[in-house]
Amino acid sequence: MQLPEPLNRYQDIIPGLQEFADSLASPLKPFVRLNTLKAPEAAILHRLRGEGSRLKKTAIRWLYSIEQEQRLRSGTCYQLGYTYPQAITSALPVLALDIRPGQSVLDLCAAPGGKTTHMAQIMGDTGIVVANDRKHGRITALMANLKRLGITNTVVTNCRGEFLATGMLFNRVLVDAPCSGEGRYRLDKNGRLTHMKAGATDLPAIQKGLVQKGYDLLAPGGIMVYSTCTINPDENEAVINHLLRKRGAVLEPWQPPLAWHRGVTDWNGVEYDKNLRFCRRFYAHETGSVGFFLARIRKL
């Protein structure tokens, strides 16, 4: 079958093509993370249900699917910092990092702060998180979310990630890179794709610079995760293949809690390193959430 442009070029790598095409006409499910730094999980659930929310536990700790999407950013629980609305798949890069309390963590492309605040929550607000973003306007949202959720272990920097100089190495590094966002694409009532980004930015070049910088700031023995919310192998596997050629990086397999597929090892006639199969792909029609890609990388 034919997918709408520009998704039709992925027909050979998308599993369940008919189901994927059908799902484009349906909105993505809303999810919410409960912020246990502010209150116990049971207390937040009780308050949300008192506000009329209907919630269902997911396979990921603190994440719930929720109805009444309009309530997510207007209710008292949100205003008090008890909740953070986020796609369930956006929690996966943080889980793959295997973060521990007391560690040093770098979030190279942090704003608006969903993954940053998730990391701080797992760490129990201990250790240190350096949250960087190059866009000054997005720093405002990042700072506001850190303050609203009561997080104190995070330092915010405003710099192009490729040029960040920290004077230290980190136990964990997250490079949730800017991307074309194809995992968010939906069809409107007229059959046109929404959430498409305009412009002619050379995203793969930016992504390769970011992943190399992230790896260089990783301490020996540390873990880095590279992630995007796009389907395009040029922004995913090709970027990791570039890193493997330039650095002594090692790809590690990871068992996600959601439906997943292996990374592709060739695309448009280009053969990648066979270990690219250890990357993980997530599709919206199988998870009910934003499509995602991640690679878990170890520095030996």
Contact 227, 294 (CB under 8 A): yes
Tokens of 198: 């305009």
Q: Which two tokens stand for residue 276?
A: 């690219």
Helix (H) or strand (E) holding 119: helix 114-122
DSSP letter assigned to residue 174: E
Cα-trace Rg, the chain: 19
Supply the angle between the helices 114-122 and 136-148 in degrees, to the nearest 10. 40
CA dihedral 208, 275, 10, 95 (to 10 degrees): -70
Reduced to 3 states, what is the DSSP secondary structure of residue 66? strand
Whether 279 is catalytic:
no
d(CA 214, CA 176): 10
3-state secondary structure at position 74: coil
Give CA–CA dist 186/275, Å, rounded: 32
Contact 196, 203 (CB under 8 A): no
Per annotation, catalytic residue among 77, 109, 179, 229: 229
- Residues with a catalytic annotation lie at 229
